[in-house]
Structure 1
Amino acid sequence: MNLYFQQTYQRSFGTFPLTGDTLASAVAEAAKVGYRAFDTAQMYNNETEVGAAIAALGLPRDEICITTKVHPDNFTDALFLASVEGSLKKLGLDRVDALLLHWPAYDGDNTVSLRLLQKAKRQGLADHIGISNYTSTMMREAASLLDEPIITNQVEFHPLLDQSILLKAATETGIPLASYCSVARGEVFKYPLFAEIGASYGKSAAQVVLRWILQKGVPINTMSTKPDNIRANFDVMDFTLSSIDMDRIDAMRATGYRCVDKAKVPTAPEWD
């Protein structure tokens, strides 16, 4: 993984569920404050608009990192590569920087989709490949199956959910985690601790949460349509939480709050 990609990927701008002018203005504002990594997916139905918004920025291609994710409906020999080529056409790109499997296969057997993912990289459709919403067991299976490096497992990650099993698997497999639902879709703001800690650093509750994630060694993926929040979410590299404050936040993981469960995504795996 090149250094620019690695550094840029630490703070990625998510585009779900944005569309139309709202998406275009949010991407423009994100780029203005410094974001250079942008995340989309086939499932979001906004790849065309993301591509147009990024093209409108006028930035050199090698300064932009684009991630998209393949829908499980396309995890077959007949559909996979064609769907990736379709995503590239919508995005207006000849390759993406990172191509992920959005979810495990419906039947629980990820062998076919993982091998097709590797094939897509070897055909030059993606510079890097990764996975999303994989359990620790699935991470180990993926690491043993593929020859190409797996750059990430993008998962729900925030202080209200204990993902220590996945963090351990990340260390064992060499597959780093990346976060989505980084502020638990606003749930973290119900807990005064984050604002209390933030006050001592001159930072907001959200910035404390995002900084905690980064100090866990996990890149953050955030989305907002409000310019002030977009800037604040990016502005989390100029302070460091103390070990005492990290421990206080660690204790919040016992809350056990999960944004994405089987009630919302019936095909989700049995989480660790």
Structure 2
Amino acid sequence: MSTVPRLGLGTSGNDDPAQCADSVATALDAGYRHIDTAQMYDNETAVGDGIAKSDVPREEVFLATKVHPSNLGFDDVHASTESSLDRLGVDTIDLLYVHWPTQAYDPDATLRAFDELYEAGTIDHVGVSNFTPELIEEALTILDAPIVANQVEVHPLLGPREPLFSTCRDHDIDIVAYAPFCRGEALNDPTVQAVADAHDSSPAQVCLAWLASHDVAAIPKATGRAHIEANARATALQLTDDDIDRLDRIDRRYRRFDPDGSPWSE
């Protein structure tokens, strides 16, 4: 059974405090129960304000945030997580990720701090982000807590790839897709548009339905109510096997986020 709700609200780039808080509250009131943020996004306070503004009880919200790569030293993990709790206005974080295994990331020290937060009940679940199969296997030998999610870039232009997906699934690790629209590029792909036309749907809904067909959770960014609600309706879109195969076979393979020092470039 999956730990992470299949559809969440991504907040990367949503750095206007009022807009961010409104987006979170709107998403929760529209039925979302998964909200994703990060120390790097500099909007945890606004996300917390949005959760407080919503009528949805805190215990029904699956709240995820991520430790900044510069805060991955043992002491900094503890200190920065306390700061995240304060900014978010919550007592616990449902899912805390290692955002990137770069900069201050040290497997033994970083993951020992995550274990201590988990054991103390400060966080309910441990996650990783942008981890390769090799980094996942290494982390599993160090952590006592289970890894419940690996958040990586996935969209029709950078589809299911091996051995990453099989490694995650072999260890019951949910795959969470960030940039599910490739910052809009996937929405202009002819195959995505053709499938959308066939279903009288939108390219964004096709991308989300395709991810769901691969049992991948998605955290699309959205701000206005219409966009938030349209993404939610993607849960009702049933793609055919032929649709899924066509989307899987898109021959372009483009990684939108590929910073210097990324683990796959070493």
Normalising by structure 2, we get a TM-score of 0.93
On the 8 A contact 1:139/1:175 being kept in 2, the answer is no
Aligned to 2:262: 268
Pick from 193, 196, 201 the counterpart of residue 195 of structure 1.
Answer: 193
Size of the aligned set, in residue pairs, is 264
RMSD: 1.8
Distance 2:114 2:104 in 1: 17
Pick from 221, 229, 236 the counterpart of residue 231 of structure 1.
Answer: 229
Distance 1:162 1:31 in 2: 28
* Higher mean C-alpha deviation, range 34-43 or range 143-152: 143-152
Alignment of 1:178 with 2:172, yes or no, is no
Normalising by structure 1, we get a TM-score of 0.91
On the 8 A contact 1:129/1:151 being kept in 2, the answer is yes
* Higher mean C-alpha deviation, range 146-155 or range 225-234: 225-234
Amino acid at match of 1:196: A
Distance 1:246 1:146, change over 3 A: same
Alignment of 1:50 with 2:47, yes or no, is yes
Distance 2:160 2:151 in 1: 12
Distance 2:23 2:58 in 1: 19
Aligned to 2:9: 13
Shift of 1:239: 2.7
Distance 1:271 1:242, change over 3 A: farther
Alignment of 1:206 with 2:204, yes or no, is yes
Q: Aligned with 2:263: secondary structure? A: coil
Q: Aligned with 1:127: secondary structure? A: coil
Distance 1:10 1:162 in 2: 17
Shift of 1:211: 0.6
Shift of 1:20: 1.5
Question: What is the percentage of aligned positions where both structures have the same residue?
Answer: 36
On the 8 A contact 1:151/1:176 being kept in 2, the answer is yes
Alignment of 1:31 with 2:13, yes or no, is no
* Higher mean C-alpha deviation, range 101-110 or range 230-239: 101-110
Amino acid at match of 1:73: S
In the alignment, structure 2 segments of 5+ residues that lack a partner are none
On the 8 A contact 1:178/1:221 being kept in 2, the answer is yes
Distance 2:89 2:127 in 1: 21
Shift of 1:57: 1.0
1:225-248 Cα shifts (integer Å, max 9, x gaps): 232221111112213211111110
Aligned to 1:127: 124
Alignment of 1:66 with 2:66, yes or no, is no
In the alignment, structure 1 segments of 5+ residues that lack a partner are none
Aligned to 1:240: 238
Distance 1:142 1:232 in 2: 37
* Higher mean C-alpha deviation, range 228-237 or range 107-116: 107-116
Q: Aligned with 1:260: secondary structure? A: coil
Runs of 4+ more than 3 Å apart: none
